[in-house]
């Protein structure tokens, strides 16, 4: 279909006037020379060199160029004495010039006119082969001659028209002059009207029609529906969302479409393939529920997740956090691949907003549950340091991670995880807490070794008199640092007769061990107990001395 923007339709009144002028000129030319351009039955009387003489009933025989009666192999089609139909095309010194080819065209025109029916509007494909004062001479593929008036050409540059192919319609048949007048303007006008009617019908009926894909581009496809090209935008191909049409369709393929919009100003028809199909979201909204397990195919993988195909023109989204229980996923491609079929669980479905989210990890064994089967509080384990933070380190044990807090890494309070470990280090730890509700695991490394208090308890016992340095003073008592960096507490009520105001951090202080709890890693000291112990020792000494004196007295008396 010729683009309307390529032609400029001229004033119809002027066109009709020019047609009348042309018809008048044509008729006048026949009156002046009724023999010229008329179809005549002649006889070949002589063939010599490149000229044949033909008896056409005139004073002199007509001259015919032999090339007109020679086939493609150079053989003559006629001989002397053969009848031949010719047309007088002109005169030279009263000798007519005749043409066999023009006669053939004339016959074809006569035959066309004889078979022409006015009630059948034909669209003709013609080629402009020449021009004259009134317009252009054209032929179709059967070499039938037509006349296209300038006013009916509907093109901006008429000078470039010769050699061009056009679509036209017949506007007049002149049987007397045996001429066929055609118009490109009428063809375009009718096409516009036809397009308008088709578009209106498409928009009003809201029906599905079949169209032929004419061209595929990156942004969509042009589809011919009843001779009109409409655009199917790539977002109107599938309910999945924008797709690349070249991966699904080929040019020339038949597709079902619906008209969804028409821009009158731009004369732009928008079509939709997905609107011509049943809405799959309507089909699944009552069939799928959150928690349902479904089989899907991985259709596209991105760094942030993957799109999955349900197989019914619906696409769901699998976020990277829903691919595995492993919290340190670098890229989804490390766990899944395009084209892979997997079972997933529906975790969100919104048919109204056409949103579906699924989870792969929810259908996989839960690492925390597997962990509980193998480990309990107090179990020893080996793991790998995955992350080190200011407050500790995360250790991966199988498929789960536990937290090794700084205070559980070493008995030395000044040592932190960042000072002791590197990411990737294998460590031996002990499970000290399993929070089932929040699925958290607490670990300890220092629990695998004797605490300083446990080591201290092997060398000391309750009642031992010890000396330490005051490390801190609180309202409830005094913290004392003993040998081997062991901390002990003297409660306020155990200070005895010592005035708390006289004590300072860094002072040396003597006390007695009140008790050692090596399970809870606590040592209590007491100055009051120290005083009692010293009193007992003094009393022992006194008693000892008294016993000796009494013995001596008895001894002396015995003497």
Q: What is the pLDDT of residues 431-490, one digit of tens each?
A: 999 998 888 999 999 888 888 888 888 888 888 889 999 999 998 999 999 987 888 999
What is the pLDDT at residue 545?
60
**Ordered domains of the chain (ranges, CATH):** 4-184 (2.40.50.140), 206-276 (2.40.50.140), 280-363 (2.40.50.140), 374-448 (2.40.50.140), 456-532 (2.40.50.140)
Q: Residues 189-248: pLDDT tens digits? A: 888 888 887 778 777 777 888 989 999 998 999 999 888 888 999 989 888 778 889 888
- The answer to whether the Cα torsion of 349, 353, 354, 360 is positive or negative is negative
Average pLDDT of the chain, as a whole number: 84
**DSSP, res 11:** P
* Residue 336, token pair as written in the block: 């899944």
* Residue 82, token pair as written in the block: 């053969």
What is the pLDDT at residue 252?
92
Q: How far apart are CA 110 and CA 168, in angstroms?
A: 19
Nearest to 93 by CA among 62, 66, 68: 62
| Residue 113, number of CB atoms within 10 A of its CB | 15
| Residue 427, number of CB atoms within 10 A of its CB | 19
Q: Are 242 and 234 in contact (CB under 8 A)?
A: yes
Q: Are 482 and 468 in contact (CB under 8 A)?
A: yes
Spell out the residues 6+ positions from residue 550 whose beta carbon is closer than 8 angstroms to its own.
Answer: none
Give the alpha-carbon dihedral of 376, 382, 387, 390, to 10 degrees: 70
Q: Are 184 and 166 in contact (CB under 8 A)?
A: yes
Which of 148-152, 272-276, 278-282, 550-554 is predicted with the least confidence, judged by mean pLDDT? 550-554
Q: Are 91 and 59 in contact (CB under 8 A)?
A: no
- Global model pTM greater than 0.85: no
Print burial letters for 381-404: b (CB count within 10 Å at least 16), e (below 16).
bebebeebeeebbbbbbeebbbbb
DSSP string, 368-430: HHHHHHH--TT-EEEEEEEEE-SSEEEEEETTEEEEEEGGGT-SSTT--HHHH--TT-EEEEE
* Better-predicted residue by pLDDT, 544 or 195: 195
Q: Are 170 and 182 in contact (CB under 8 A)?
A: yes
Instruction: Please determine, for residue 31, whether its predicted confidence score (pLDDT) is greater than 80.
Output: no
Q: H helices within 67-135, ranges in order? A: 100-115
Phi and psi at 354, nearest 5°, equal 55, 55
Beta bridge partners of 346: 358
Q: Residues 51-103: pLDDT tens digits? A: 999 998 888 898 999 998 998 888 898 999 999 989 888 888 888 899 898 88
Largest CA distance in the chain: 206
Beta bridge partners of 44: 54
């Amino acid at each position: 279909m010729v683009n309307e923007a390529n032609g400029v339709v001229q004033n119809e009144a002027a066109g009709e006037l020019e047609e009348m002028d042309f018809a008048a000129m044509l008729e006048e030319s026949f009156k002046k020379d009724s023999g010229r351009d008329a179809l005549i039955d002649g006889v070949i009387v002589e063939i010599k060199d490149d000229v044949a003489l033909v008896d056409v009933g005139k004073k002199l025989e007509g001259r015919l160029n032999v090339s007109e009666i020679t086939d493609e192999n150079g053989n003559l089609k006629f001989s002397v004495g053969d009848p031949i139909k010719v047309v007088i095309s002109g005169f030279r010194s009263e000798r007519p010039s005749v043409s066999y080819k023009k006669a053939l065209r004339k016959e074809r025109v006569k035959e066309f006119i004889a078979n022409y029916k006015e009630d059948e509007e034909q669209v003709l494909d013609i080629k402009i082969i020449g021009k004259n004062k009134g317009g252009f001479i054209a032929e179709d593929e059967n070499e039938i001659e037509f006349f296209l008036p300038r006013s009916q050409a509907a093109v901006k540059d008429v000078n470039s028209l010769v050699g061009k192919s056009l679509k036209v319609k017949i506007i007049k048949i002149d049987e007397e002059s045996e001429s066929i007048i055609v118009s490109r303007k009428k063809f375009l006008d009718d096409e516009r009207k036809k397009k308008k009617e088709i578009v209106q019908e498409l928009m009003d009926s809201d029906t599905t029609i079949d169209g032929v894909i004419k061209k595929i581009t990156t942004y969509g496809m042009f589809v011919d529906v009843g001779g009109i090209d409409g655009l199917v935008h790539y977002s109107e191909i599938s309910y999945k969302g924008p797709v690349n049409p070249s991966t699904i369709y080929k040019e020339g393929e038949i597709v079902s479409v619906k008209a969804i919009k028409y821009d009158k100003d731009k004369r732009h028809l928008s079509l939709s393939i997905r609107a011509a199909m049943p809405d799959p979201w309507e089909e699944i909204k009552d069939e799928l529920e959150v928690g349902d397990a479904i089989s899907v195919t991985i259709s596209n993988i991105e760094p942030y997740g993957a799109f999955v195909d349900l197989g019914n023109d619906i696409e769901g989204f699998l976020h990277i956090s829903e691919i595995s229980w492993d919290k340190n996923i670098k890229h989804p491609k490390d766990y899944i691949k395009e084209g892979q079929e997997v079972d997933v669980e529906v975790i969100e479905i919104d048919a109204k907003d056409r949103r579906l989210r699924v989870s792969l990890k929810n259908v996989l064994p839960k690492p925390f549950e597997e962990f509980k089967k193998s480990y309990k509080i107090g179990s020893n384990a080996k793991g790998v340091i995955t992350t080190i933070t200011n407050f500790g380190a995360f250790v991966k044990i199988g498929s789960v991670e536990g937290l090794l807090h700084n205070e559980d890494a070493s008995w030395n309070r000044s040592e932190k995880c960042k000072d002791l470990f590197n990411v990737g280090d294998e460590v031996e730890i002990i499970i000290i807490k399993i929070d089932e509700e929040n699925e958290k695991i607490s670990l300890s490394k220092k629990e695998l070794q004797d605490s300083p208090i446990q080591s201290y308890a092997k060398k000391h016992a309750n009642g031992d008199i010890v000396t330490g340095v005051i490390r801190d003073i609180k309202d409830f008592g005094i913290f004392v640092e003993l040998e081997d960096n062991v901390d002990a507490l003297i409660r306020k009520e155990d200070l005895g007769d010592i005035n708390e105001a006289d004590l300072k951090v860094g002072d040396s202080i003597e006390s007695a061990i009140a008790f050692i709890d090596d399970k809870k890693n606590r040592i209590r000291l007491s100055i009051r107990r120290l005083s009692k112990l010293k009193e007992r020792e003094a009393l022992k000494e006194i008693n000892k001395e008294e016993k000796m004196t009494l013995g001596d007295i008895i001894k002396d008396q015995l003497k």
